[in-house]
């Protein structure tokens, strides 16, 4: 009987986790695994009904739902069959710190999959369940002209530098300002070099708007806030010369790996998940020190550890690239070879098959799967009710405070 899995995720989404989910499914299918794709809305987290959903459900469940929404996801999908199944959760995480609530939830699952050694090293400190690394496979696209320089007033012979991020991924972590400031220090008023800042969801993030607005009128910096298809995004990468990511942390770093697959020069912070595929022989790694998150306005937790890339080192390396652009073939060739040999659809698909075959053969015999499965829904419901109580308490507090302020103003007016 064909090996099969139930893969739960945001298959229609236009963001990193959704793309990673699709790539993993493609890799599994390339290895002969039947993937029952169970699709959910990234906005509501509710299941999207499909006429093509198979009647047969596998013994193995994989949930590619990131940790910050996992509680809410299970609260809204309590009809998922977990009992008697082997339940795997796939998380990417960017910080060494993991909350107690996340750990309690994680330990109910039978296994955790992560995309990098960075994530393995984090989670093995917090859990006793198996933590397995399965890197995101990289899918190269056919050469495309879909990204048109003329549309964005880019001169045909320009040297094109690009940085890519989702504005909802928090600017403190993606850190586009460091990339832009480094570029300005090296290429200020250089008409032959352009930096494309490719983002989307900018209109939904005041934090990102504030970070980017001061660069709107610099001639050789082009800010693009659009949802690109996968073909158009890869066309942009194909037509660029250098990709820059001066990030604070990445669970993996998909766009860096994609750029390397096309033999592009990649500049990235020498920290976190991208070190699985970036080294001094195939890319430019930027030095850093550490900071703790603060004044995050609720976007992410306070006190989390992030890298702060060294701007002086980034400037030095960008100058080297500018001055030695025609002598970087070894870097480019090594980058392309690294991704092709170790991160292809086929190679990652075979790794999936080895592990899933083991679970399918031995997990059923031992009947180990899903022993604490119902606790997932209990914890999810507790979390939902806790958030509701906190919201009501905050709302009630604000109402009382307003009434008190009105009362005090009236009392002052009588004096």
| Phi, psi of 152, rounded to the nearest 5 degrees | -110, 20
DSSP helix/strand/coil, 142: coil
Confidence grade of residue 122 (pLDDT, cut at 50, 70, 90): very high
> Residue length, the chain?
415
Question: For residue 57, what pLDDT is reported?
Answer: 79
Strand 265-269 and strand 284-286: the pairing is parallel
Question: For residue 183, what pLDDT is reported?
Answer: 98
| Phi, psi of 8, rounded to the nearest 5 degrees | -100, 125
CATH topology for the 4-137+346-380 domain: Rossmann fold (3.40.50)
Mean pLDDT of the chain: 90
Instruction: Identify which has the larger pLDDT, 52 or 246.
Output: 246
User: pLDDT for 319-350, tens place per residue?
Assistant: 999 999 999 999 999 999 999 999 999 999 99
Q: In what order do the strands lie in the sheet with 111-114?
A: 34-39, 4-9, 60-63, 86-90, 111-114, 131-133
Cα dihedral 242, 247, 252, 254, rounded to 10, equals -40
**Closest C-alpha among 306, 13, 311, 310 to residue 170:** 306
Q: How far is CA 328 from CA 195, 199, 239, 300, 341, in A?
A: 19, 28, 17, 38, 20
Question: For residue 276, what pLDDT is reported?
Answer: 98
Q: How far is CA 71 from CA 10, 103, 286, in A?
A: 16, 12, 36
Residue 318 scores a pLDDT above 80: yes
User: pLDDT for 36-76, tens place per residue?
Assistant: 999 999 999 999 987 766 666 799 999 999 888 988 999 99
**Which residues neighbour 204 within 8 Å (Cβ) at sequence distance 6 or greater?**
167, 168
CATH number belonging to domain 149-342 = 3.40.50.2000
Question: Mean pLDDT across the stretch 199-214?
Answer: 94
Question: For residue 134, what pLDDT is reported?
Answer: 97
* CATH 3.40.50.2000 residue window(s) in the chain: 149-342
Question: Mean pLDDT across the stretch 283-308?
Answer: 91
Instruction: Identify which has the larger pLDDT, 24 or 1.
Output: 24
Question: For residue 218, what pLDDT is reported?
Answer: 95
User: pLDDT for 75-120, tens place per residue?
Assistant: 999 999 898 899 999 999 999 999 998 999 999 999 999 999 999 9
Confidence grade of residue 219 (pLDDT, cut at 50, 70, 90): very high
Question: Distance (Å, rounded) from C-alpha 9 to C-alpha 23?
Answer: 12
């Amino acid at each position: 009987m064909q090996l099969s899995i139930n893969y739960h995720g945001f298959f229609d989404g236009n963001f990193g986790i959704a793309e990673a989910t699709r790539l993993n499914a493609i890799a599994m299918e390339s290895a002969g695994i039947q993937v029952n794709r169970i699709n959910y809305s990234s906005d509501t987290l509710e299941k999207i009904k499909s006429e093509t959903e198979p009647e047969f459900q596998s013994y193995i469940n994989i949930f590619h739902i990131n940790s910050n929404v996992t509680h809410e996801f299970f609260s809204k999908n309590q009809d998922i069959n977990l009992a008697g199944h082997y339940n795997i959760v796939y998380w990417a995480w960017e910080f060494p710190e993991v909350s107690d609530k996340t750990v309690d939830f994680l330990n109910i699952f039978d296994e955790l999959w992560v995309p990098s050694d960075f994530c393995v090293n984090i989670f093995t400190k917090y859990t006793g369940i198996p933590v397995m690394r399965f890197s995101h496979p990289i899918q190269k696209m056919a050469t495309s002209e879909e990204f048109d320089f003329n549309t964005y007033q880019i001169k045909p012979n320009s040297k094109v530098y690009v940085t890519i991020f989702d504005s909802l991924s928090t600017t403190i972590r993606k850190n586009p300002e460091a990339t832009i400031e480094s570029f300005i220090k090296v290429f200020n008023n250089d008409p032959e070099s352009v930096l494309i800042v490719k983002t989307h969801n900018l209109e939904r993030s005041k934090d990102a708007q504030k970070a980017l607005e001061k660069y709107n009128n610099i001639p050789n910096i082009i800010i693009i806030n659009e949802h690109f298809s996968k073909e158009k995004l890869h066309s942009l990468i194909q037509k660029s010369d250098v990709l820059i990511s001066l990030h604070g942390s990445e669970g993996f770093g998909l766009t860096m790996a994609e750029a390397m697959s096309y033999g592009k020069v990649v500049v990235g912070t020498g920290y976190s998940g991208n070190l699985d595929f970036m080294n001094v022989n195939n890319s430019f790694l930027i030095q850093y020190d550490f900071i703790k998150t603060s004044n995050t306005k609720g976007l992410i937790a306070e006190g989390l550890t992030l890298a702060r890339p060294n701007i002086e080192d980034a400037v030095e390396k960008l100058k080297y690239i500018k001055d030695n652009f025609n002598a970087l073939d070894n870097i480019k060739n090594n980058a392309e070879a690294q991704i092709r040999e170790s991160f292809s659809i086929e190679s990652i698909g075979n790794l999936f098959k080895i592990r899933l075959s083991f679970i399918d053969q031995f997990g059923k015999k031992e009947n180990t799967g899903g022993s604490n499965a119902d606790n997932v829904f209990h914890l999810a419901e507790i979390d939902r009710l806790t958030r509701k109580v906190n919201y009501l308490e905050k709302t009630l507090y604000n109402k009382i405070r307003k009434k008190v302020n009105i009362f005090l103003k009236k009392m002052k007016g009588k004096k």
